[in-house]
Amino acid sequence: MKWLPLNYNLLSGLCLLAIQLLSAHNVFAALPNQINEQPFPSLAPILKKATPAVVSLQILGRAKTEVPDMHKYLFGSEHQAVQEQPFQGIGSGVIIDAKNGYIITNHHVIQQSYKIIVGLHDGRKVEAKLIGSDELADLALLQIKTDNLTEIKKADSNNIEVGDFVVAIGNPFNLGQTVTSGIISALGRSDLGIKHLENFIQTDAAINRGNSGGALINMRGELIGINTAIVNQGGGNVGIGFAIPINMANNLIPQIIKYGHARRGLLGIKGRNLTIKLAEAFGLKNKDGVFIEKVIENGAAQAAGIEVGDIIVKLDSHPVKSYGNLRATISTLGAGKEVTLGIIRDGQIKKFSVKLMNVSTKLNYQSSIHPGLTGATFKNHQNGIMVVKISPKSPAFMNGLKSGDIIIGVNRHLTNNIKTLNELLQENQTAFALKVERNHQPFYLVLR
């Protein structure tokens, strides 16, 4: 089974035979014949509301690849040259704020881009500015400066249900705006290995290459999710696609506007899904929730009085279905945000108010302080910030960092801890020069 970054055919009131003749597969949901006892033969009224807000994206970028450096063989240097290869990409986006020209899309669509061209519904093409992005949630925010834009109305994605009819809108295969329909197949999908923060809406609406960043809408033409990924077997759509819930995006957008990236909140626990056996052991009828295995010392949860063995069943007023669901939601909330957790302790439900801490207060963590450092795990070191480990092909790896490197400065400023590094990387600059020490030899890496 192969996971692909996503990309997404209008199902109308055609007979089953016609659908089978015109489509490559028959994984489709039937459309309702009536709504409130009134005929509903067409999706056109819904699409007229939503399609003007969905745009196509043309991407020009440079992908960094590491190539063998002759110095390594001639002089024993461990440093390898990084080569840039030009590429062109496609994707989709959704206008969420017409007044300010804000467009939401996926991070993987615009990653390593230097030019982004937005194709509007009326045929206009406008160059976009990248406001910021969050790789872990796979979201990015663009801005265009032009008049006569149409924004989409957003729904509350906490109110959607399995079985609801949905429509996906995007730019598959660069064909132009295309719509497909289906139903919500599942909610809260996680542990899929697509992205770090997973709380996906699963749908059988046909999604294909180029639909990444497009809209998933309900039967009122309201945005409920951003199309993101598909299950791919042999290159075709098999009726399993995923979208990021719009509420999750709503949490991140203000942070990206203000800082250019996410400033994550940290709860300070380690947990696991509440299993049937665990629920039986605690005498619980409900099988949904998160069992707390560890409370991090000096963390937000400990400060709020949360204990090992507690079971989290609600976040604010919303049920907690899984650990992945809880982690994804908390991670999109900003540091300093106050949340109310509903917790089962000694057979009773109790409420705890928790003020989320900043991720940068953690001594050893997966980087989210700058998109270019994603994929590296850091810890404070006596001489600076040490790279504990690094994921191959991650942004941090592509920027030239290696395990064991020690970051000792940013531009002209020295830094000796994660907190200072975080503060320096929040300055409004397009590039940063990291001063790095490797094998006791200092050098600079440009972080874009």
Which amino acids are annotated catalytic?
108, 138, 212
CA angle, 323 then 328 then 329, to 5°: 100
Amino acid at 253: I
| Distance between CA atoms of residues 273 and 248, nearest Å | 20
Amino acid at 110: I
Does residue 64 contact residue 398 with C-beta atoms inside 8 Å? Answer: yes
Write out the DSSP string of 110-135: HTTEEEEEEE-TTS-EEEEEEEEEET
| Distance between CA atoms of residues 371 and 333, nearest Å | 17
Cα distances (angstroms) measured from residue 334 to each of 267, 337, 424 = 11, 6, 19
> For 379-430, where are the alpha helices, taking DSSP H only?
395-398, 418-424
| Distance between CA atoms of residues 28 and 20, nearest Å | 10
Q: Is 383 helix (H, G, I), strand (E, B) or coil?
A: coil
The packing angle between helices 246-259 and 323-332, to 10°, is: 30
DSSP state of 36: T
First to last CA, the chain: 33
50 CB-contact burial (10 Å; exposed 0-12 / middle 13-18 / buried 19+): buried
H or E element, residue 245:
strand 236-245
| Distance between CA atoms of residues 216 and 205, nearest Å | 9
| Distance between CA atoms of residues 404 and 70, nearest Å | 22
DSSP state of 402: -
